[in-house]
Structure 1
Amino acid sequence: MRIVRILKIAGIVLGIIFTVILSYVAYVFLTYHRIEDNQKLNVYTKGKAKKQDVTLDTEYSILTYNIGFGAYSSDYSFFMDGGKYSRAYNKQAAIDNINGSIDVIKSKDTDFIFLQEVDLKATRSYGVNENEMILDAFDDISSAFAVNYDSPYLIYPILEPHGKTKSGMSTISKFPIIDSVRRSLPIDTSVYKLIDLDRCYTISRIMVENGKYLCLYNVHLSAYTKDESIVNNQIKMLSEDIKSDLEAGNYIICGGDFNQDLLGDSPSIFHTPVMEENWAKPFPSNLLPSGIMVAYDILSEELRGMLAPSCRNADTPYNKETSFVTMVDGFLISDNVELNSIETIDNGFLYSDHNPVMMKFQLKPVK
């Protein structure tokens, strides 16, 4: 009788566990959704953005920075990279890292800013509205924010779940943004879509004095998909939009976190430790339309060799000697945009697993 009773209780417990697991799986799949494509974004103006149009033959500057949702201080490691943590250490750590990133950005005083992994409300960053913090730090700007992904509550890792995440990307300009749109990228349709989440890029247009537009493409391509064709399809879609703007005679700057090696040979340039599975594959520049190029490709070998890495692998705390580093952040530019300089702002990954990249450029007259 006692054995029967124990087996009965064990059966009930297992039944409850099984029901909870099934209910959770159902919740994840039923609440999963993709954000609509071609979503018109609200343009937010704070103070007085410069009233004049962007002019030709004038040097401007732009910075791109994946701020890592405020978690990645240099001693942080992330579970999806093989590290330990799934959230920022605590709410104050997230606030401190965002404030540190803001200080870095403001110190460069660039005309345009691209930011990725900016949380609006997420378990991983303890509900801190990072976009609000960033916008509060700047005066006289025009900006557009797009939600990159809005994920259901992920219960993994079990002891400290990654939780629910609503996060996105921000484009900030000293000049008025005329309009901005969010484009939904193709993503993995397998179960990996729950890990890599949604993906997008935004297109924000700035008026140029000759009647054309400076088209600012802010991108964050897939990182954790196992299917390499997904990233290629993302770049093909991006290229189609870029091609349309090129054919209209507009000026193109496409920047952000490409999650691909924009140098093509980062390991040899940075003499980084070899990874068994290098997730940062060479960027397939052959998929780009004629008239658009990776800004780093314009540099001489000497200047390429002087660059600092823009990203570290977060499997362990950052160590300059042993951490894997690469260059996944940067810019694509059209041939009517002249590159004056491009550099990584090397702050030793103090506030993020990425370093910012800054470019100076000018727009060429139409011939």
Structure 2
Amino acid sequence: MTDLITLLLLIFTTFLISFILFYWWASSKSYSQAKYAEILTSDLPLQRKPKETYTVITYNIGYLSGLTNNQAVKREKVLFDENLELAIAALKPFNADFIALQEVDFASQRSYDVNQVQELATALKFPVQATAINWDNNYVPFPTFPIYAHFGKMLSGQAILSRYPIELNERIVLEQVTNKPFYENAFYLDRLAQVSRIKIANHILILINVHLEAFDQPTRLKQSQFVLELFLSFSQKYPVLLIGDFNSEPPSEINLEPTINLFLNTPGIQSAFPPKTLNHPENGTYPSDQPHRTIDYIFYNQNKIEAIEWQVVTDILASDHLPVVMKFRFR
């Protein structure tokens, strides 16, 4: 009996030590934190001359997983290759000056270690990339089951592509969900506000690229309040674009969440979508196959920017989100 107890204790101790070692390794970072916010340039010529109008796009590409995003399924590489081509084909006709990306992989097992930012920048001929890492783990055991669907090694985040010089690129980590257990937060992405300072002739454009909390409304509201203050800290001096995936629908009779109203009710801030049309079905950005929810936005300061036209790019299933496009000029 004593031998059996000893054996069981040995097995339990071995399992516990193995689990602790796995947890430590899996939750550890694999990328240099000094490179979590970078500005990368290619050999392509920079645009420096001013233009009459400019085009900006925000697009949560959902790591090019199409409508399978976060589903517990095995994905073949051909899916990502095809969705990359779909995204390029959809974005290329706009010849945008700036594109803000969310949920973009730099070197993740789930998307076959392809640097999706580099692929898009090369295909769309952008000379500058500003990157911001928000998910860096040796191994992410999500979705929990089946094990073959685990994300595995993760290096993912946000990015801004620009034809004009980016002078500064800052990565601001937003408030975390406080009621998650520590072991979940160890494998959860950081929610970011990526702030880039872009030089356009005699103008400085501040572009704030956000990806807000998806699952916890109180945290999302706190993040939005911070982002609003961040916007206002620039908006009197510079033209500012605040764009990205807000994970929040516009206010309505059935949706009382105040997140988007924070921005709509602040004097001087305007949405690319006319406020009265925010709940119209044609403005839906999610899900991409049957878009009926608007959760991706472009906001700007009216004292420095004039919106000329906008649209949601439909019929593109490279992601579970749709891109939003705005053409604008400086005042």
TM-score range, shorter chain: 0.7 to 0.9
Distance in 2, Cα, partners of 1:294 & 1:196: 30
- Between 250-259 and 182-191, the greater mean CA deviation after superposition: 182-191
Ranges in structure 2 where 5+ consecutive residues have no aligned partner: none
User: Comparing 19-28 with 124-133, which one deviates more in the overlay?
Assistant: 19-28
1:232 Cα deviation from its structure 2 partner: 2.0
TM-score (norm 1): 0.76
The structure 2 residue matched to 1:130, chosen from 116, 127, 137, is 116
1:311 aligns with 2:286: yes
CA deviation string 1:87-141 (max 9, x = no partner) = 6x12222222122212211122222111111111112112122122112213253
In structure 2, what is the Cα distance between the partners aligned to 1:346 and 1:165?
29
- 2 CA distance for matches of 1:306 and 1:157? 35
What is the TM-score normalised by the length of structure 2? 0.83
Pair 244,34 (structure 1): closer, same or farther in 2 beyond 3 Å? farther
Q: 2:294 aligns with which of 312, 327, 340?
A: 327
Structure 1 unaligned spans of 5+: 269-277
2:229 corresponds to 1:229: no
Structure 1 residues 193 and 251: CA distance shift in structure 2, 3 A: same
Q: Aligned partners of 1:16, 1:90: CA distance in 2, in Å?
A: 36
How far apart, in 2, do the equivalents of 1:38 and 1:24 lie?
A: 25
Conservation of the 8 A alpha-carbon contact between 2:39 and 2:166:
no
Which amino acid counterpart does residue 294 of structure 1 have in structure 2? S
Percent identity reads 24
Residue identity opposite 1:258 in structure 2 = F
Between the aligned partners of 2:228 and 2:35, the Cα distance in structure 1 is 16
Partner of 1:272: none
1:341 aligns with 2:309: yes
1:214 and 1:251 in contact (8 A); partners too: yes
Does residue 259 in structure 1 map to residue 236 in structure 2? Answer: no
SS in 2 for 1:286: helix
Deviations 1:157-201 (A, max 9, x none): 352222121112121122222322222222124334245421212
Paired position in structure 2 for 1:168: 157
Match of 1:115 in 2: 101
**Equivalent residue runs for 1:223-302 within 5 Å:** 223-224=214-215, 226=216, 228-247=217-236, 249-261=237-249, 263-265=250-252, 281=257, 283-286=259-262, 290-296=267-273, 298-301=274-277
TM-superposed CA distance for 1:153, in Å, is 1.0
DSSP-derived class of the 2:282 partner: coil
CA RMSD of superposed structures (Å): 3.3
2:56 alignment partner in structure 1: 62
Quick one: structure 1 residues 125 and 36, their matched pair in 2 at CA, closer, same or farther if it must change by over 3 Å?
closer
Aligned length: 323
C-alpha change, 1:34 and 1:201, in structure 2 (3 Å) is farther
**In 1: Cα distance, 2:199 partner to 2:140 partner:** 42
> CA contact under 8 A between 1:62 and 1:113: conserved in structure 2?
yes
